[in-house]
Structure 1
Amino acid sequence: MIPAPFDYVAPSSVDDAVRALAEAGEDAKVIAGGQSLLPVLRMRLAAPTTVVDLGRIPELRGVRDDGDALVIGAMTTHYDVQRDPLLAEHALLLVKATDTVADPQVRHRGTFGGSLAHADPAGDLLAPALALDAEMVIAGQDGRRTVAAADFFQDFFTTAMAPEEILVEVRVPKHTGWHAHYEKFNRVAQAWSMVAVAAAVRTEGGRIAEARVGLTNMASVPVRARGVEQALVGQEATPEAIRAAAEHAAEGTSPTVDGNADVEYRQQLARVLTGRAITAAMAG
């Protein structure tokens, strides 16, 4: 199907992009890599009056070291995230999760910030960003503000951004030397996750000193498995300890029911996948 007609704007700076959105009003849409928006336009599930393309803003691309954190430009592609040495050293969980996103064609076009701003609870990058305590830097007419990942994702496909704001960059605290793994379950290759688990673990003296576990598609937003994290701290990473901790994975979750799974099935998946993710992280 052919999309409905719309005006197209391609600003060269963040300020120009914000201005274009404000002038276009509530019916404007931002396009990053286009992997989420273009299918919606083709099916006419959205009919924006104006599309603001962020692809010509150099500031929005790349990864840089900022002391105790890494800064990832919102327009950095999944492909570049996969191959960035800073991320491999200091935020391995993001690399592991990005490796599972769709297929190579999508990873070459899709963007890190676009995935987060789309806020699909089945998306593979939301839970890792939450687990690593990422912060979103948002630009609007009143300047820039920073929102923690825990506050950024608010509901299905809904974030803390106002219609005239754009995601500029993501700040990720360094997790140097942490073990990490992203365990995903789907029925067919490249499909959305039915459930997935993002796990990062730091060991000290043969025991788990810190743990971060995020769950994908277990609520309308990504959630932290706090019970699992607390159960792991202070334990040796034995199969028994991991299995016992993983039993807490579904606590406080409210997964949706759809054609793929009911609540009980998703909660059982969360427990099983959490055990696998932690085990794989420790072995990596």
Structure 2
Amino acid sequence: MTARMKARFADLARQNRAGLVTFITAGDPDDRTSAAVLRALPEAGADVIELGMPFTDPMADGPTIQAAALRALKSGHRLSKTLDMVRDFRAHDDATPIVLMGYYNPIYIYGVDRFLDDAKAAGVDGLIVVDLPPEEDRELCVPALEAGLNFIRLATPTTDDARLPAVLKNTSGFVYYVSVTGITGAAIPDYSRVGQAVRRIKGHTDLPVAVGFGVKTPEAAAEVAAHADAVVVGTALIDVLARTLDGGHATAATVPAVRAFVEGLARGARSAKRVPTDLPAEESRP
């Protein structure tokens, strides 16, 4: 686990609260606005940031994040600019972990070794690459770990106990539990099962477990935060940003709207009454 990631989750554990992980797409709707949003996230209460790498075919993402990626690409954003964003962010914030999330194709085209060197130098802490299964760990996961970057895996409701060890084998930083099956923003999760899922994953790993997909309100954030080590919010945040745009372009309301939304989520997550994850499954439900 990178020093920033380790320090952040240790601090959350000392405070006995779940962290808030926020996702935005780099370059959406333009580089200048995206950089301003990125800087506003920690100030609003985000503990970890997932920064999406725009891609033309984001197959695991729903319409909201697909549209964000297309806006970014249309504005001229590229992977090299994503790394520039992280580098600029680090000039102001050297404490908040940043995880790049996306697909393997842009990294492959950039060049794996070059990408890992540049990402590490820019101040990236980890990667989530959703279309590389554990069977392909030598392609990017193992080189990333050797370069000193976390490689974060996704577990889902269909990841059974036979499959989970393979998913977790080279996972570092935290485990991202996707609380619904399907694409991002597609469904509302059954929060009554979050505690059970977190307990099951923690039976296989000591890593923190972050839970996402379907969290749209401070109340939902609080429900998830009662059981998880972190709450992940992406689609709902991008929706807030998109509603402020005029013809796809940023307005004076864009950054303030995102900031206010994240502040609400942070309050919700921090208000949660924590449930120990070692309780029996029937006692760990909200």
TM-score past 0.5 threshold: no
- Which protein is richer in strand relative to its size? 1
TM-score (norm: length of structure 2): 0.28
Q: Please say which structure displays the higher CA radius of gyration.
A: 1
- Which protein is richer in helix relative to its size? 2
